[in-house]
Structure 1
Amino acid sequence: MKLTVVGGGSTYTPELIDGFARLRDTLPVEELVLVDPAPERLELVGGLARRIFAKQGHPGKIVTTFDLDAGVEGADAVLLQLRVGGQAAREQDETWPLECGCVGQETTGAGGLAKALRTVPVVLDIAERVRRTNPDAWIIDFTNPVGIVTRALLQAGHKAVGLCNVAIGFQRKFAGLLGVTPNDVHLDHVGLNHLTWETGVRLGGPEGENVLPKLLGEHGDDIAADLSLPRVLLDRLGVVPSYYLRYFYAHDEVVRELRTKPSRASQVAEMERELLKMYADPALDEKPALLAKRGGAYYSEAAVDLAAALLGGGGSPYQVVNTYNKGTLPFLPDDAVIEVQAAIGAKGPTPLPVAEVDPLYAGLMANVTAYEDLALEAALRGGRDRVFRALLSHPLIGQYEYAEALTDQLIAHNREHLAWA
């Protein structure tokens, strides 16, 4: 089995490598190719990756290359984890929206749209080259904004599935609180990427006992603290929102916080500098503890599980993924990309039935789906007016003066990445 990671020079790649090494019985990788246009980073990450495989006794071969076509040739699955513009672009996504009093974040609001505009054309070009080289390969997208990027891939006819680590993080958290194994926990997880709610927590599978009321009753303070939301809100909702819902439920509070502390991008950039120094040490043969602060917890487990199920080698029968709606949520179009539990097999994901969704969540999902429609149109076709329309439609913006100003800022800060600008 051959797997290719596009964006393999990321400082987070050793987390993925560690997962491949530990879970080799689930996903027996014979060749792992790391593709990245930055040769110095790729050399450091690739060296550590080989040492991790060697230490854990993994027999697979690790290849590094900046040649995308060679890297994806013959791959059974291609994982996308790229960041167009790097941390410098992320720094801008997180700062200039604050000038208008809007949240600065790399996957939602104006910053999220900027990232989508930079990313979608690049990902589609990569996917076309994968299809020319190996049309049977699965594309697993971990590149944000996952919902918009996955929809672009599916709309273009690619064999693609979107992956996020929010659900597996909740699964691990709840399992610890309940004193059970993660495999015992099945989430009733519903929404769009980075706009999701846990409406049930079941033991043993989709038909198991719903212990969410018990979790909230006994551990509500702990869960609320993790989300930086008040316990009373969780009690009133009766569900557990993802931490990204804080940008919606406490928008102005978040803006005030973001204006008074260093951006997440600057913190990550500093971590990356430290990590690369560590990776250069030829004695290092395991992922360093600092990597846990980099973000993307449990990504490796989720990626291995999904790839194994798609490629017929095992994996959990039910997993949370991003895929076409196809009637699962009747208030959204069939071609909307939703994030829900799905049965995973060689033919791809099949969403499980979802109970009727409370209008409180359905309304916000419908609004953000409409924004994602307009965002994808702007990413594919370009043009100032399309950018404005997408920004105006976003529930975190919604005022024409803000949308006008943010449109000008977005284009000014991203001109080098926008072919039409």
Structure 2
Amino acid sequence: MKLAVVGGGSTYTPELIDGFARLRDTLPLTELVLVDPAADRLELVGGLARRIFAKQGHAGAITTTSDLDAGVEGADAVLLQLRVGGQAARQQDETWPLECGCVGQETTGAGGLAKALRTVPVVLDIAERVRRANPDAWIIDFTNPVGIVTRALLRAGHKAVGLCNVAIGFQRRFARLLDVAPGDVHLDHVGLNHLSWETGVRLGGPDGEDVLPGLLAEHGDAVARDLRLPRAVLDRLGVVPSYYLRYFYAHDEVVRELRTKPSRAAEVAAMEARLLEMYGDPALDEKPELLARRGGAFYSEAAVDLAASLLGGRGPSVQVVNTYNRGTLPFLPDDAVVEVQAAVDGSGAVPLPVPALHPLFAGLVAHVTAYEDLALEAALRGGRDRVFQALLAHPLVGQFEYAEQLTDRLIAHNREHLAWA
């Protein structure tokens, strides 16, 4: 079984490698190819990856290449984890929206749109080359904004499933609070990528007892601290929102915070420099503790589970993924991409039924889905008017004057990545 990781020079990659090594019985890889145009980073990450495999006794071969076509040739699955424009572009995404009083964040709001515009054309080009190399290959997208990117891939007819680590992160946190094994925790996870809620926490499986009310009653303070929201918000909602909902529920507070401290992009860039220095140490043969602060916790476990279900020939497994709605949320089009529990096997992901979503959440989901429609059109077809419409439609922008100013700033900061600009 061959798997290729596009963006394999990322500092995230050792987290992925550690999961592949530990869970080799679940996903029996024989060949892993790390693909990245940054040859210097790739050499450092690839060396550590081989040492991790060797230490944990994994017999699979790890190779590295900057040649995309060679790297994906014959791959059974290709995992995408790229960042077009690198941390420099992220720094801009987190900065210029603040000039207009809007949240500066890399996956939502104006910064998220900028990332989508840079990323979608690149991902679609990669996907076409994967399809030429192996039409049966699965594409697993971890590249943000996952919902928009996955929708672009599916709309172009690719065998694709989107993946995020938010749900598995909640599963692990709740398991610790409840003092049970993670596999015993099943989430009623519903919404869009980076716009989701845990509406139930069930023990033992999808039909198990919902312990969310008790969990909030006993551990609500701890959950609220993790989300950086007041405990009263959780009590009134009766659900656990994704931490990305803070950008919506406490927008002005977040803007004030972001204006008075270094950007997350600056923190990550400094962390990446230190991680790459550590990766170059020939004595290092495990992922360093610092990597946990980089983000992407439990990403490897989620990726292994998904790849194993798509490739391993086992029966359907239930996982939270990004895939076509197909009537799951009846107020959305069937070809919207939702993030819900799905039955996953070699034929793909089929969303499982979810209870009717409360209007408090359904309204925001519908609103952001409309934005994602317009964002994808802007990414595929370009043009200032399409960018403006997408910004005006986003609930974190939503005002004519802001949308005008943000459109000009977005284009100015991303011109080198926009073929039409």
- Match of 1:99, SS state, is helix
Q: What per-residue deviation string (whole Å, max 9, x for no partner) do you get for residues 27-59 of structure 1?
A: 000000000000000000000000000000000
Q: Give the TM-score, by structure 2 length.
A: 0.99
What does 1:6-405 correspond to in 2, within 5 Å? 6-314=6-314, 317-405=317-405
Q: What per-residue deviation string (whole Å, max 9, x for no partner) do you get for residues 69-111 of structure 1?
A: 1100110100000000000000000000000000000000000
Amino acid corresponding to residue 241 of structure 1 in structure 2: P
Residue 384 of structure 1: CA displacement? Answer: 0.3
Q: How many pairs align?
A: 421
Residue 313 of structure 1: CA displacement? Answer: 4.9
Q: What per-residue deviation string (whole Å, max 9, x for no partner) do you get for residues 354-380 of structure 1?
A: 001000000000000000000000000
Does the 8 Å CA contact 1:18/1:300 hold for their aligned counterparts? yes
Q: Measure the CA separation in 1 of the matches of 2:393 and 2:419.
A: 23
Q: What per-residue deviation string (whole Å, max 9, x for no partner) do you get for residues 210-242 of structure 1?
A: 000010000000000000000001000000000
Residue 312 of structure 1: CA displacement? Answer: 2.3
- Match of 2:232, SS state, is helix
- Match of 2:323, SS state, is strand
Q: Measure the CA separation in 2 of the matches of 1:342 and 1:202.
A: 16
Q: Measure the CA separation in 1 of the matches of 2:180 and 2:285.
A: 31
Amino acid corresponding to residue 29 of structure 1 in structure 2: L
Amino acid corresponding to residue 21 of structure 2 in structure 1: A
**Misfit runs of 4+, over 4 Å:** 313-316
- Match of 1:349, SS state, is strand
Amino acid corresponding to residue 351 of structure 1 in structure 2: P
Amino acid corresponding to residue 217 of structure 1 in structure 2: A
Q: Give the TM-score, by structure 1 length.
A: 0.99
**Cα pair distance change 1:170/1:327, threshold 3 Å:** same
- Match of 1:287, SS state, is coil
Amino acid corresponding to residue 287 of structure 1 in structure 2: K
Residue 315 of structure 1: CA displacement? Answer: 8.6
Q: Measure the CA separation in 2 of the matches of 1:316 and 1:57.
A: 29
**Cα pair distance change 1:264/1:381, threshold 3 Å:** same
Residue 341 of structure 1: CA displacement? Answer: 0.2
Q: Measure the CA separation in 1 of the matches of 2:284 and 2:218.
A: 41
Residue 317 of structure 1: CA displacement? Answer: 1.2
**Cα pair distance change 1:314/1:292, threshold 3 Å:** farther
Does the 8 Å CA contact 1:43/1:64 hold for their aligned counterparts? yes
Q: Measure the CA separation in 2 of the matches of 1:189 and 1:384.
A: 35
- Match of 2:327, SS state, is coil
Q: What per-residue deviation string (whole Å, max 9, x for no partner) do you get for residues 360-408 of structure 1?
A: 0000000000000000000000000000000000000000000000000
Amino acid corresponding to residue 376 of structure 1 in structure 2: L
Q: Which runs of 5+ in 1 are unaligned?
A: none
Does the 8 Å CA contact 2:185/2:204 hold for their aligned counterparts? yes
Q: Measure the CA separation in 1 of the matches of 2:106 and 2:40.
A: 26
Q: Measure the CA separation in 1 of the matches of 2:180 and 2:284.
A: 33
Residue 335 of structure 1: CA displacement? Answer: 0.3
Does the 8 Å CA contact 2:139/2:159 hold for their aligned counterparts? yes
Does the 8 Å CA contact 1:305/1:316 hold for their aligned counterparts? no
Amino acid corresponding to residue 255 of structure 1 in structure 2: V
Residue 316 of structure 1: CA displacement? Answer: 7.5
Q: Measure the CA separation in 2 of the matches of 1:238 and 1:43.
A: 48
Residue 275 of structure 1: CA displacement? Answer: 0.5
Amino acid corresponding to residue 265 of structure 1 in structure 2: A
Does the 8 Å CA contact 2:315/2:345 hold for their aligned counterparts? no
Amino acid corresponding to residue 43 of structure 2 in structure 1: E
- Match of 1:329, SS state, is coil
Residue 305 of structure 1: CA displacement? Answer: 0.4
Does the 8 Å CA contact 2:152/2:376 hold for their aligned counterparts? yes
Q: What per-residue deviation string (whole Å, max 9, x for no partner) do you get for residues 98-156 of structure 1?
A: 00000000000000000000000000000000001100000000000000000000000
**Cα pair distance change 1:270/1:158, threshold 3 Å:** same
Does the 8 Å CA contact 1:306/1:315 hold for their aligned counterparts? no
Amino acid corresponding to residue 361 of structure 1 in structure 2: F
Amino acid corresponding to residue 296 of structure 1 in structure 2: G
Amino acid corresponding to residue 413 of structure 2 in structure 1: H
Q: Measure the CA separation in 2 of the matches of 1:44 and 1:30.
A: 21
Does the 8 Å CA contact 2:322/2:339 hold for their aligned counterparts? yes
Does the 8 Å CA contact 1:26/1:314 hold for their aligned counterparts? no
